[in-house]
Amino acid sequence: MKRLICLAAGCLLCAGLNCAAQPEAEPVLPNIVFILADDLGYGDLGCFGAADIKTPHIDRICEEGMKFTDFHVHPRCSPTRAAFLTGSYANRTGVSRVIYLEDTFGLNDDEMTIPELLKTAGCRTGMVGKWHVGSREPFFPQHHGFDYSFMKTEMIDRERFEKDGFIVQPNGKKKYPAVDSYLENGTLYGTVAEMPEKTKLYTEHAVQFIAENKDRPFFLYFAHNLPHIPLEPSEAFRGTSGRGQYGDCVQELDWSVGEVLKTLDELNLTENTLVIFCSDNGPQLQYQAEVTGGSAGPLRDGKWSSFEGGTRTPFIARWPKKIQPGTECSDLIGIIDMLPTFCALTGAKVPADRVIDGVDISASLFGESKDHPPRETFACFDGGGCYAFRYRQWKLFIRDEESSGTNAQGVKTGPVKAGSLFDMAGDAAETRDVSAEHPEFVEQIQKMAEQFLAEFKATVRDAGRME
């Protein structure tokens, strides 16, 4: 059973001669809209340097808010989403790898998630898009604190399954025959054949959720499939970018963001809404020989690796009159920091009965962290464990790391050995191993990582599993 968290009622101090006669005013909570792209690279937005893809609506968030240049995630889908929802490294929650249809595990019901916590503060909670932290009904959004959900999932094609059983793929692996379907609050809404333009469908439900909750605080988690493969831009966006179908998909994603921003404007919600946009991991750099993929910009490698191109993604935040427009922040932050930050902004309580790896980055958002950055360390986890460890500007690989692809800008790729050290302050592309020049940092960070991992091992939690 989930632990019930009680939130003490807050009040505002009033001023003036008639203070005693006035009723206590309720604190004004912000709305929060968190938009998550899928496989979008550090170099795929105009505000992060892309010249062949136009993203005016996402760039607007950057122009009217803050651009973060050192934001980190897990290098693949399901772990990042678990980390976001729980404020903990995915490996701590048992969701350390991608969850597939045939898997019978998912995010544990005992985890306390962002929507569950924000509900205690009075927020209405909604989720639209790609879920991917559990392919079976017991792990769906409605069981993790969401009042409303519209999600895309895979469902077993029973007719094909009964006829053919497992399908053997070209790589020799077996997989259930499946059909992509949409669920609204856990009930079948339609299949892909009936609903071909998923981004438009997602967007309609996202703006509908906002409109229906305009008179109360709300939290919307809007998780896109774009620009993950298969690359299927809607007809209106085909051929509109300078980077093939991939760029077309990013521009359709940008359109969707624009619809959300327009809705906030029309409903007079912009001023009191924190909007965040980021990606779940770095780009899949090359789909096929003839198909251009995403770009990690100036960073090394991409998705599936613990190089910066795999774990560092765009992150921009806008909150008028709270976040200084047109600003930039180089603080080391991560997706695990969203839970404690959202709690701090709404008055919800961070769970005290478990380890939460995230920290409150409100000071970074408000430009108040110059002398006191919210975090100094970050562990780069993948399915196999912790591959690298950040301490301030230094990044030490504590395990050998392979390369996953070729960066579109020709940044150095290839494997590195455990013990390699890189200076992120002047070499975010990880081109020069400086371990020989700074053995003292290698030793210091190695000890920090060992201590962290020892404590980590003792506090790992289990994923949820179907009986």
Distance (Å, rounded) from C-alpha 235 to C-alpha 197? 9
Q: If you search the block for the tokens 């912000």, which residue do you land on?
A: 30
Q: Which residues contact 88 (CB under 8 A, 6 or more apart)?
A: 336, 354, 355, 356, 357, 358, 461
Write the single-letter amino acid at 335: I
Active site residue 372: no
Matching residue, tokens 């910009």: 297
Alpha-carbon span 134 to 137, nearest angstrom: 8
Q: How many CB atoms lie within 10 A of CB 167?
A: 14
Catalytic choice (62, 72, 77, 228): 77
Instruction: Respond yes or no: is residue 132 known to be catalytic.
Output: yes
Give CA–CA dist 300/306, Å, rounded. 10
Is the distance from CB of 342 to CB of 89 less than 8 angstroms? no
Give residue 201's identity as a one-letter amino acid code: L
For 334, the enclosing helix (H) or strand (E) is strand 333-334
Residue 403 DSSP one-character state: -
Q: Which of 72, 132, 143, 144 is catalytic?
A: 132
Task: Mention every residue, 6+ apart, whose C-beta is less than 8 A from residue 97.
Answer: 76, 78, 79, 383
Exposure string over 171-194, b if 16+ CB within 10 A, otherwise e: eeeeebbbeebbbeeeeebeeeee
> What gap in Å lies between CA 388 and CA 407, rounded to an integer?
20
Question: Residues with catalytic annotation?
Answer: 77, 132
